[in-house]
Amino acid sequence: MPVSSCICSLKGRTPSFASPRRDNRALIGGATGGLVAYALLTLSVAIGIALSLGWKNARWTRFVTNETHRFITLLSLVFIGVHTVAVALDGFVGIGFAGALIPFVGDYRPIWVSAGIVATYLLIAVYLSERVRARIGYAWWRRFHGFAFVAFILTLLHGLATGSDTKSLFGMAFYGGSIALVGSLLAYR
């Protein structure tokens, strides 16, 4: 049974995952895609902080750790795409593609959904900034990378406010663990 089966209420309604009258694939795909994307984003931010601290492993070269960081970030963006498409297709939330791609267009928790949309665009920009690093210089690229933390916080707020599993034991442990991991790395930094 997927984690997203913990969904208790959206828009004041209680979906039945066992209901033969409702196709829940988009709802489950949206919730699962969001959780996987957030887990990968947390891992990417944690690796990024570790790289900025200069932590090294004798078995992994700097090239390998940088490429792992880039790959996990890209994978997170892929799952954000899965989450976005699934939520847009899900008739239960009813935001459609415009509400899933343009901040403050949808009616469903517009502030918190918009936080996720803005976070997505920031993450895409930070990811693509690697392509212009040689032109803008390392110092500016690193400053720009600070938007990854803004995106992480916006994504956290988005998940806490709109996530279907937030109030479950799993959700509390999941979000609490990500906060503890990134927070402890930032405190060490």
pTM: 0.83
What's the DSSP call for residue 131?
Answer: G
**Would you list the DSSP string of 73-123?**
HHHHHHHHHHHHHHHHH-TTT--HHHHHHSTT-SSSSHHHHHHHHHHHHHH
Nearest to 156 by CA among 123, 131, 187, 132: 123
pLDDT digits (tens, 9 = 90+) for 26-35: 888 888 999 9
At 61, which amino acid appears?
T
pLDDT of 22 reads 60
Mean local confidence (pLDDT), 171-181 = 95
Residue 165 has pLDDT above 50, yes or no: yes
pLDDT at 21 over 70: no
Q: Quick one: pLDDT at residue 183?
A: 94
Phi and psi at residue 154, to the nearest 5°: -60, -40
Q: SS3 breakdown of the chain: % helix, strand, coil, rounded to 5? A: 70, 0, 25
Residue 9 has pLDDT above 50, yes or no: no
